[in-house]
């Protein structure tokens, strides 16, 4: 009796595997579209909170007030030494995400932009800001004035 070599894969088996993968991809693509706005909102919220935490840490470690100024769809880290000096590149929000309900006090030196200030003694200005995506989901970042703690709600 002659034995057959079973080391290879037939063309039919290969086509069946590709068809199964294609069907799975077609079923997953609509779910990715619904998931993307929430991912962008979470990512933007973490980026903004991280910038604010950086301002807090730099204020304490350098003994110089730092702050974060908010524009329509971006925020910028500032050092307060002989005027407000921007540090680093501005953080731009992804498409479909924007700031709303910004309750930080305006800063006249920045044309009245809302400004979250962090002081060397670990205190901060009062207020918070919300981020909203185009699906209506919302995240809020608030500061604890006495400790300068940045909290995402």
Write the DSSP assignment of 62-129 as a string of letters: HTS-EEEEE-SSEEEEEEESSSEEEEEEEEEPPTTEEEE---SPEEGGGTSEEEEEE-TTS-B-S-EE
pLDDT over 60 at 141, yes or no: yes
CATH class held by domain 11-152 = alpha beta
Residue-wise pLDDT for 9-66, tens only, equals 788 988 999 999 998 888 877 777 778 899 999 999 999 999 999 999 999 999 999 9
CA-to-CA distance for 131 and 142, rounded, in angstroms?
11
Task: Classify 81 in phi/psi space as left (phi over 0), alpha (psi -120 to 50) or beta.
Answer: beta
Residue-wise pLDDT for 51-106, tens only, equals 999 999 999 999 999 999 999 899 999 999 889 999 999 999 999 999 999 999 99
Q: Look at residue 58 and give its three-state secondary structure.
A: helix
**Six-digit token string for 4:** 């057959």
Per-domain residue ranges for the chain?
A: 11-152
Q: What's residue 49's pLDDT? A: 97
Distance of CA 66 to the CA centre of its chain: 20
**Six-digit token string for 58:** 């730099």
């Amino acid at each position: 009796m002659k034995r057959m070599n079973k080391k290879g894969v037939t063309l039919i088996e290969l086509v069946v595997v590709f068809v199964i993968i294609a069907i799975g991809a077609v079923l997953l693509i609509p779910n990715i579209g619904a998931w993307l706005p929430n991912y962008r909102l979470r990512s933007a919220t973490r980026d903004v909170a991280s910038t604010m935490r950086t301002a807090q840490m730099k204020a304490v470690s350098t003994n110089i007030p730092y702050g974060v100024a908010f524009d329509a769809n971006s925020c910028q880290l500032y050092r307060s030494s002989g005027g407000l000096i921007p540090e680093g590149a501005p953080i731009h929000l992804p498409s479909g995400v924007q700031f709303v309900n910004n309750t930080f006090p305006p800063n006249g030196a920045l044309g009245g932009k809302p400004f979250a200030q962090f002081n060397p003694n670990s205190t901060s200005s009062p207020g918070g800001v919300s981020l909203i995506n185009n699906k209506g989901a919302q995240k809020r970042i608030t500061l604890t004035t006495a400790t300068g703690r940045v909290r995402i709600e």
